Amino acid sequence: MIVDQITNVDSEFYAGLLQKHSGSFKLAERLMAGLRFLQEGNVTQLAPSRIELDGDKVFAMIQHYDTKPKEQGVWEAHRKYIDIQYVAEGQELMGYANLGHLQAGEYDSEKDYLLLKGEGSYVLMKPGTFVILTPQDAHIPQVAVDQPQPVKKVVVKVAVADE
């Protein structure tokens, strides 16, 4: 998992790291396309919707919701997509655990959703914060910091493979 501020996307770190170590230049391009959309798009003004950036290879889901108590959170992971989750307004806690530290349930390949159980850590996500979650990163999104509150978030889905 990578946690950072969207204002840091222009640093040499992202372009260099993604191109050098991704194993796939196409994957690096997709990740950067998602980050650029978050950085350049006026996402706080967008209504809940799906926006295709590169068909099913890169797309953004604009979400508006109220956060929920920690005990209502559910551990999840994905195999086909990397998530870039970006908080535009409000704040929430993002649960994180390495997939190997949790007990896996059934995987739904149609929805690319793996349900898990166990314990992990939490990161505070304020406006401008994004996380990059790879297939080995289990997570619990939408967790309230203290009390439930409204959040505007964008989840960019980045295909891992060219299938």
Q: Model confidence over 59-99: pLDDT tens digits?
A: 999 999 999 999 999 999 999 999 999 999 999 999 999 99
Domain of 137, in residue numbers = 2-159
User: In the chain, how many domains are there?
Assistant: 1
Q: Residue type for 118, please?
A: G
For residues 105 and 10, what is the distance between their CA atoms, to the nearest angstrom?
38
**Helix, coil or strand: residue 73:** coil
Q: Model confidence over 92-127: pLDDT tens digits?
A: 999 999 999 999 999 999 999 999 999 999 999 999
For residues 16 and 138, what is the distance between their CA atoms, to the nearest angstrom?
25
The domain that holds 131 is classified in CATH as 2.60.120.370
159 forms beta bridges with 81
pTM: 0.92
**Sheet containing strand 150-159, strands side by side:** 2-5, 129-133, 81-89, 150-159, 58-66, 49-54
Q: Residue 94 in contact with residue 151, Cβ under 8 Å?
A: no
Q: Residue 4 in contact with residue 140, Cβ under 8 Å?
A: no
